[in-house]
Amino acid sequence: MKKEKSEIASKLKKDDELVDLLAPNSSWYNKSGSSAKTNSIIPAFKSYGEMSTPFITIQGGTESRSWENMREQNIYVRCYNDIKKSYVKIDEISERIRTVLDKAELSLSPNILVRIRYEFTTQETLDDELNLNFKELRFRLLLL
């Protein structure tokens, strides 16, 4: 699942329209480094208190076997924004994420093809621990 999440993050970071909607941050693994908007696309649970909003997290979910040579994985992409702001920016970012990932294909190796399918977006929610607004998009990855 690590490779799949990495490829999804890379795909999102390559989309200039999406990246332009995000805030500049230092990287999650080097908080003293320089800020860039692409640093606002991070693994889940790596956000830190001083992060500027909006930012995106990517989390792996369950994996199951569908058929002999096919697996399915869930990936969750959350878009966070300041609690003092409305969900308008989150909606705009979520729409762009869906546009970039829905029906996209990833090639992980010569033998593995991944097709991404958008499934749903959650309601407007408050993350109590981070004290930030967010919405979560769920994607199903079909690995052949």
Dump pLDDT digits (tens) for 1-10.
578 899 999 9
Task: Compute the average pLDDT of residues 73-101.
Answer: 96
Return the CATH number at 71.
3.30.70.1700
Q: Are 135 and 78 in contact (CB under 8 A)?
A: yes
Instruction: Identify residue 3 by its one-letter amino acid code.
Output: K
- Residue 107 pLDDT more than 90? no
- Residue 49 pLDDT more than 80? no
- Residue 117 pLDDT more than 90? yes
Question: How many independent structural domains does the chain possess?
Answer: 1
pLDDT of residue 137: 98
Give the whole-angstrom CA distance, residue 76 versus residue 43: 10
Range of the domain at 95: 2-143
Q: Are 50 and 42 in contact (CB under 8 A)?
A: no
The pTM score is: 0.92
